[in-house]
Chains A and B, each alone.
Chain A
């Protein structure tokens, strides 16, 4: 009897594991509109000799300008649906551990942008001050080998005697400077430093680290999800007389679609 109960329990458990379906949020599609969740947005393209208009109705207050005093349009007209813009970073805590002078260390994170077929976007980066201890002892940003890099132009950083903190980028939609700074096929040696928004008197503006102005949409097809991914490699190399301490900073990434 006991074995029978155990058998039935296991069988039920087995069935639950194997046969439970995925839960999907309500999605309805057609060639002219996309209804997503509770926020209903209807867009359609009506072409005429003098106008080609896409209107957003429903929750976002419909109506003509003369009746209500406003017209609101949401989403991109040429996509005919409202595709969310998303951005992700795979590693929010870049841990270099304990450093040995003139022994460089690296850590990486993947940046990923998803924007359907719209395509146009940018990701900028800026540091909230250089790496520093609680007593504000700074850890300098790198200038690369032979002072060959700054906030905008990447340079080769390969020597163990070149100190500082910087980053390299590989993958999609990255600035050309990361692939052109080095003639031989090793773009992983191209680094630059982050702009510092705490610089006085004028803060250094954020720098673009990923961008695309390609509208990767076929106007005759349905919207599709397209990912753009790059890898950022953070590098640090301590100088022999660097004071001991816990050095930290915050790097801010801002991802925005185009207008």
Chain B
């Protein structure tokens, strides 16, 4: 009985050892939700939004803050400004947590941040873009050694449209809609784009927002072939901020090494037309653009020519030998 008890104890200890999760020392992992907020609001109003901040690693000291951002480039990146600006007022309604004040977040700890967003009376109509940031404090330095400590900050973007009538300025244009060809031929001032029949077709679609409010373009890209075959690719509704450009994405799409809106894979033969239809919203305009390309089996043709040339040379040599 005693031996059995010891066996069970040892087996349990072994299971415990094998099932224990490895502890990653000095690791920091933060999670925030929701990742984006879009607010349409009248001046003089305020709203309360609940964010969830979670720490999935070692205990950390965190500080929450709000900073404005602007779009950087045309791929959806942002540039966060150093100082707060703008008429919008933010504060946390939490009793124990305030903006710009540090708080402790234990391992697997959840902190709900009750963000109050207030738009003062008289705030001019327009868009205001901010990021809610949660920043960790770096660990203490290691005395006597050369070391670099790291701190992480995680953000969630807030897009605020202030409008006293509810109407939104939806103005834009398609800045560019084209394919990235394998090679281009200029004939009589016209550019003809060529692909090999087995090539992937990368398509780029840039949307420019000329209005004062952000837009969420929707629509589709349609591919039409020689024989009436069509394929439709839905444009993913991504925000284009005021007075900026963005590369839109469509689905489903294959992968490509460069930034593209859509990559179409398959076997192509002949002339194809691509049409983009972009709708800016319920009361906005619909934008159209078109482009085309020609696909021919160049690789196959070149291979065929090489084989034909080799065969021709062999036949010629054989005939010459026979004559001799």
Give residues in A with beta carbon < 8 Å to B.
3-4, 6-7, 9-11, 13-14, 17-18, 36-37, 39, 41, 50-52, 59-61, 65-66, 68-78, 82-99, 109, 112, 114-115, 118, 120, 122, 127, 131, 139, 165, 203, 205, 208, 211, 213-215, 217-219, 234, 236, 246-259
Contact = CB atoms under 8 A, between A and B. Distances in A.
B76 A213 contact: yes
Given A14-B8, A82-B33, A211 B77 contact: yes
A72 to B, nearest CB: 5
B53 to A, nearest CB: 9
Most chain B CB within 10 A, of A68, A74, A251, is at: A74
A234 B150 CA distance: 11
State which size class the interface on B falls in: 35 or more
Contacts of B131: 256
Given A252-B151, A259-B241, A86 B78 contact: no
A92 B77 contact: no
A234 B249 contact: no
A124 to B, nearest CB: 8
Given A69-B42, A72-B37, A248-B149, A258 B29 contact: no
Nearest to B44: A69
Given A211-B77, A258-B77, A259-B78, A251 B31 contact: no
B251 interface: yes
B147 to A, nearest CB: 5
Contact of B35 (A72, A85, A217): A85
B8 A10 contact: yes
Nearest to A248: B141
A7 B30 CA distance: 44
A250 B138 CA distance: 7
Contacts of B54: 84, 86
B27 A92 contact: yes
Interface string B230-253: 000010111101000001010110
Contact of A254 (B139, B155, B236): B155
A116 to B, nearest CB: 9
Contacts of A51: 281-282
Contact of A86 (B31, B76, B135): B31
Interface in B147-178: 147-157, 159, 166
Contact of A253 (B33, B151, B251): B151
B313 interface: no
A71 B213 CA distance: 15
Nearest to A73: B38
The 10 closest A-B pairs by CB, nearest first: A88-B29, A86-B31, A258-B76, A256-B155, A84-B33, A74-B34, A85-B35, A70-B41, A10-B8, A69-B42
A22 to B, nearest CB: 11
B237 A41 contact: no
24 contacts: A3-B1, A6-B5, A7-B4, A10-B5, A51-B282, A60-B49, A65-B40, A66-B166, A71-B40, A71-B41, A78-B238, A82-B35, A84-B32, A84-B52, A87-B154, A90-B27, A92-B139, A95-B145, A98-B145, A131-B148, A218-B252, A247-B147, A248-B141, A252-B153
Contact of B236 (A65, A203, A215): A215
B35 to A, nearest CB: 4
B269 interface: no
A208 B34 contact: no
B148 A74 contact: no
Interface in B1-41: 1-2, 4-6, 8-9, 11-12, 15-16, 19, 24, 26-41
Contact of B145 (A89, A120, A246): A246
B35 A257 contact: yes
Contacts of B194: none
A7 B270 CA distance: 81
